[in-house]
Amino acid sequence: MCGILAVVHKDQNQDSADLIKASAIIRHRGPDDEGFMTWAPGSKANIWAGKDAAATTIDFWKLNRLQPQQTFKVGFAHRRLSIIDLSPRGFQPMVHEKTGVSLIFNGEIYNFPDIKAELESLGHQFESHSDTEVLLLAWVQWGEQCINKLNGMFAFVILDPRKGSQGTLYAVRDRFGVKPVYWSRVGDSLIFCSEIKQIRLFRGYKLNLNRKKVNQYLGLGLVDTDDQTFDNQVFQMRGGSYATVDLADAAMNVKIARWYTLKPRKWQDTDEKAVDKFRNLLQDSVKLRLRADVPVGSCLSGGLDSSAIVSMIKRILDELDDHNGQETVTACYSEKRFDEWNYASDVVNQTGARSHRVFPDFERLQRDADKLLWHQDDPFPSTSMFSQWCVFSCAAEASLKVMVDGQGSDEQLSGYGGNDTALYAGLVKSMKIGRILRESKAYKAKNGVYPVGFILGGVQSNLPKWTLGLFPKKYLALKPTMVPWLNAPAEDVQKPRYGTLSDYLQYQLLHDPLPSLLRFEDRSSMAFSIESRVPFLDYRLVEFNLGLPEHLVYGEGTKKVILRRALKGIMPDSIVNRKDKLGFATPEETWLREAGTQWFREKVDYTITKYPEFFHRDETLKMLEDMIAGRIKFDFKPWRIICFGKWLDMMEEYR
């Protein structure tokens, strides 16, 4: 896990000052080493040490430090967080001497030993034990086609002088966007990087506010749903995409294409074999993600997904006869309805893990809010982020440099509460009346009432939009979103309509919420120089899960059916049979209505007073007071307003 930066200057006489500054600002992503490369067409790449380069690296490679006056056409910067092969031989940027192909890489290639063996059979020789060198030689051997061989999380930039008359630059992001890549033009510079804050340091940068994204965030809590950001001139590459820049093109046009498209593998065998296949895939995915030359821990909430990972690690360690055990970190709260320690402790007791506990509270939220927002770069929609932030902080204190967690399961296995309408929409569309009746009875048995609203929503999802006006208001399940306190066009704050459950799960995986959750996790873990790994997003497991029969995902009122069946006997029964879901929750409702009421009032008032163009003041204050008093249901709107105001304050120098 590292931080990367690639800059293409229109004029190769431009200096390195911005390159150096934009590397320094992400020191948290890679405090172990810092390297640079400068290159111009017709010349060899020059490799330089950065201010934070390790003394052993400088001595081993005989490097000089990059000076601000150094000019270049293409410049690379790399911050290293050493995880595999901690020696100077894993230093980046890495250059293939014979071809001049140069690489900066953030992430992990979990199957690199297999690719390495294949390359060795083709005559390649290796000087390190790093996955970086394997990736570099794979590109030398196969070019862009090598990407399909990779199983991992990765963001990398390649300079290939062999392609085009003056070379070609490539930027690549992993299948589901676990590792970030942003790009932008500032003045005569084209920039690819790990974090948006790097772009903001380049001379001439000005914030060009994306008002539609602001409206979607404030009104719906939506972020990271596509390639747009809060800045109209800053873009994020989507998972499974790559960019190419022909360096002979004076306009520096960026061409974006997909190298991976999700294609579910339809399961056509028995349920029993599907359960076995799921268990084997998950175990192999977890096992691959335990490869490291540093301590590895796990985020444990007490929910199904993180408990499955910790329980599976125990199984793997037992098979390897490894009795060193594992370490977990859990966020705990004094308010019982938000505290999951009773579940997490069952997992800890069964696995024998060494447990670390952290207790996020409102006082710490107030202290850390600005720092957390600075690391996130853009506003975030709730304080659930804060709980995760505290977990990674605790992991760092425990000297855990790699953390494994359960991110990505909900989006594949129908973990969220909003999937019911999509389930019935698909059943109505396919006219599966018997299944509708069975699901309805199962729902009533668990909840005491029939799912009339969900069934109506399923029916209405299959009707033309114009027909919805024919339903009496009390029977209209798919109501237009109304945000009277927000100064925004109505079309900016409308949620997408439901398709089938399968369609909706793919939407969650590729658009909302997973891309935003991966951004939150990347920034919060890297803030503490920790690499976070997500076994549920192994592409083999994702393609398998999305091809499963629906009843193995959500059947008879039970979600994550296959996960529960596959982990029975491996995970505590209290977890297997658990039906509620919290995730990285915080007592934000209690903070709003009790401990932090005045703070919320003051911060909301500050934002709508300083930035009145985004809000209808009276309606905003009414919404806040109604929520505090319990006259309307709690949600995260007040936090979104506060967070947005803090972010605009941070952006003031760029506006």
pLDDT for the residue 280: 98
DSSP3 helix / strand / coil % (the chain, rounded to 5): 45, 15, 40
Q: Are 455 and 425 in contact (CB under 8 A)?
A: no
CA neighbor of 502 nearest in space, from 279, 175, 265, 305: 265
Give residue-wise pLDDT tens across range 467-487. 888 888 888 888 788 899 999
Q: For the chain, which ranges sit under pLDDT 50?
A: none
Say how many C-beta atoms besides its own lie within 10 A of residue 643's C-beta: 26
**Cα 432 vs. chain centroid, distance in angstroms?**
36
| Phi and psi torsions of 485, nearest 5° | -85, -10
Any bridge partners for residue 231, and if so which? Answer: 209
Residues constituting the chain: 655
Q: How far apart are CA 249 and CA 445, in angstroms?
A: 65
Three-class secondary structure of residue 562 per DSSP: helix
pLDDT for the residue 74: 98
User: Domain spanning 2-258: which CATH class is it, in words?
Assistant: alpha beta
pLDDT for the residue 585: 62
Q: Are 81 and 90 in contact (CB under 8 A)?
A: no
pLDDT for the residue 313: 97
State the maximum Cα–Cα separation within the chain, in Å, rounded to a whole number.
Answer: 77
Give residue-wise pLDDT tens across range 428-458. 999 999 999 999 999 999 889 999 999 999 9
CA-CA-CA-CA torsion for 509, 511, 513, 517, nearest 10 degrees? 90
pLDDT for the residue 1: 66
pLDDT for the residue 586: 78
What tokens appear for 647 in the block?
């972010």
What's the pTM? 0.96
Fold of 271-413+513-576: Rossmann fold (3.40.50)
Instruction: Locate the domains of the chain by residue range.
Output: 2-258, 271-413+513-576, 417-506, 588-654
Three-class secondary structure of residue 471 per DSSP: coil
Beta strand ranges found along 17-91 (DSSP E): 33-39, 46-49, 74-80
Q: Are 23 and 79 in contact (CB under 8 A)?
A: yes
Q: How far apart are CA 10 and CA 17, in angstroms?
A: 16
Q: Are 139 and 101 in contact (CB under 8 A)?
A: yes
- How far CA 417 is from CA of 58, 182, 449, 557, 618, in Å, comes to 53, 31, 16, 11, 32
Q: How far apart are CA 330 and CA 479, in angstroms?
A: 38
Q: Are 39 and 159 in contact (CB under 8 A)?
A: yes
Q: How far apart are CA 296 and CA 327, in angstroms?
A: 8
Q: Are strands 327-331 and 296-299 parallel, antiparallel or unpaired?
A: parallel
CA neighbor of 264 nearest in space, from 546, 562, 548: 546
Q: Which helix (H) or strand (E) holds 156?
A: strand 152-160
Q: Which helix (H) or strand (E) holds 168?
A: strand 168-173
- The sheet with strand 94-95 has its strands ordered as 94-95, 102-109, 152-160, 168-173, 241-246, 255-258
